């Protein structure tokens, strides 16, 4: 598993407050919310990132996924 960040950007309002993480082997990305100290609403996201190695977050809250294949992906609608 590849740990991620809580999305705090403005580009995707429906994703605000969700923690994004993924799997290097499958490229799948999931997100969840925390409520009452527990993970809730865990879901698989529609995007996949081949060779997912890391996540990054910009100062404005935008979220990025990084591939070992040299690509950078930005969370967007």
Q: Nearest to residue 13, comparing CAs of 61, 58, 53?
A: 61
The beta-carbon contacts of 58-65 under 8 Å, at least 24 apart in sequence, are 58/9, 60/9, 60/10, 61/7, 61/8, 61/9, 61/10, 62/9, 62/11, 63/4, 63/5, 63/7, 63/9, 63/15, 63/20, 65/4, 65/20, 65/22, 65/29
Cα 51 → chain centroid: 14
pTM of the model: 0.92
pLDDT digits 0-9 by tens, 40-74 = 999 999 999 999 999 999 999 999 999 999 999 99
pLDDT digits 0-9 by tens, 19-44 = 999 999 999 999 999 999 999 999 99
């Amino acid at each position: 598993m590849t740990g991620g960040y809580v999305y705090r950007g403005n580009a995707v309002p429906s994703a605000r407050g969700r923690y994004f993480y993924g799997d290097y082997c499958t490229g799948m990305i999931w997100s969840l919310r925390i409520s009452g100290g527990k993970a809730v609403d865990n879901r698989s996201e529609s995007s996949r990132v081949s060779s997912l190695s890391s996540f990054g977050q910009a100062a404005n809250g935008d979220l990025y996924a990084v591939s070992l294949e040299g690509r950078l992906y930005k969370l967007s609608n």
